Amino acid sequence: MEIRFDDQVVMITGAGAGLGRCHALEFARRGAAVVVNDLGPEPDGSGGPSEAAQSVVAEIEAAGGQAMAHGASVTHEGGVAAMVDEVMKRWGRIDVLVNNAGILGDKAFHNMTLDGFQKVLDVHLMGTVMATHAVWPIMREQSYGRVIVTTSSSGLYGNFGQSNYGAGKMGVLGLISTLKLEGEKYNIRCTALAPTAWTQMTSDIFPAEAEDMFKPEKVSPAVIYLAGGDAPTGTILCAGAGGFARAALLETPGVYLGPDASAEDIAANWEAIASMEGAVEHFAGLEQPQKMTKLFQSG
């Protein structure tokens, strides 16, 4: 059955180009009214849609869809609040939030300034927090919501020169790990997308010949799935070049070494402690102390 978004409102940050633009066009094609957020010309990022955002809106409207542009910076609390207020006045609801806005500031850690680190962290982590915090009460009130954050293989596994970017991209996973629990009874599902795509932001990383293989529109089906009514929650979905995979944090079964265990005991038993045989994925943080309690009881 086709996944549709008729009578739903989808807000996408950083949607003037690249992945965000492709997401916006696909949501609109499937019936959604789309909020195309892209940083406008105001120095403080408080409003004024960019030409890129207006262009995406024009594409959607030309195809018979509904859309509005807004230029708030995701790091500007007042601007985000104004954007949400404008959406609610026009359509009265927000069903899906796709946190897509991002920047890069690559440098080896020893060459990176703390200001440079903070700037990237503010956009990826706090920008996601601000947008999500602004729509969360609305989704609770309407007992429905889908929140998608954009993570990265740099956050999951690391990438040279991207300590700031990786920290932000791992941080958003910590955010949804808790929000999936807090939103559960309100039918708010929180998931993460880990995209691999050739965009303006990644064009210096990918070779030119990879552009056709990693077109951003090939990632959008993953976002559509995560935003659907039957979407999972707490899931990390990787997408790129037509391939899809699920990433997860796993914990080994562990070994009970006794209440007086020393660092040397850990070293002597490291192979058993680190063995991934029988590793499991926890859904909530309390499952870890519960497992340690079982290890204690079995010892």
Q: What is the distance, to the nearest Å, from the Cα of residue 26 to the centroid of all Cα atoms in its chain?
A: 18
Q: Is the pLDDT of residue 133 over 70?
A: yes
Identify the pLDDT of residue 210: 75
Task: Centre a 10 Å sphere on the Cβ of residue 50 and count the other Cβ atoms it contains.
Answer: 20
For 110, which DSSP code?
G
The pLDDT mean for the chain works out to 94
Coil, helix or strand for 149? strand
Q: What is the distance, to the nearest Å, from the Cα of residue 177 to the centroid of all Cα atoms in its chain?
A: 11
Identify the pLDDT of residue 181: 98
Identify the pLDDT of residue 49: 75
Distance CA 101, CA 199 (A): 13
Q: What is the distance, to the nearest Å, from the Cα of residue 152 to the centroid of all Cα atoms in its chain?
A: 9
Residue 242 CB-half CA count within 13 A: 2
Identify the pLDDT of residue 271: 98
Indicate which residues carry an active-site annotation. 165
Which residue in 244, 256, 258, 248 sits closest to 279, CA to CA?
248
Residue ranges and CATH numbers for the domains of the chain are 9-247 (3.40.50.720), 263-298 (no CATH)
In sequence order, the β-bridge partners of residue 68 are 35
Task: Centre a 10 Å sphere on the Cβ of residue 153 and count the other Cβ atoms it contains.
Answer: 17
| pLDDT one-digit tens code per residue, 187-217 | 999 999 999 987 766 666 777 777 788 899 9
Identify the pLDDT of residue 212: 83
Which residue in 283, 222, 242, 246 sits closest to 98, CA to CA?
222
Percentage of the chain lying above the pLDDT 90 cut:
89
Q: Is the pLDDT of residue 178 over 90?
A: yes
Q: Is the pLDDT of residue 268 over 60?
A: yes
Lowest pLDDT segment from 43-47, 63-67, 78-82? 43-47
Q: In the sheet where 236-240 sits, what is the strand order?
A: 66-70, 33-37, 9-12, 96-99, 145-150, 188-195, 236-240, 243-247
Identify the pLDDT of residue 208: 73
Instruction: Show the tokens assigned to 230.
Output: 């039957």
CB 150 within 8 A of CB 127: no
Q: Is the pLDDT of residue 44 over 60?
A: no
Mean pLDDT across 85-112: 97
Tell me the pLDDT band of 168, cut-offs 50, 70 and 90: very high
| pLDDT one-digit tens code per residue, 271-294 | 999 999 999 999 999 999 999 999
Q: Is the pLDDT of residue 164 over 90?
A: yes
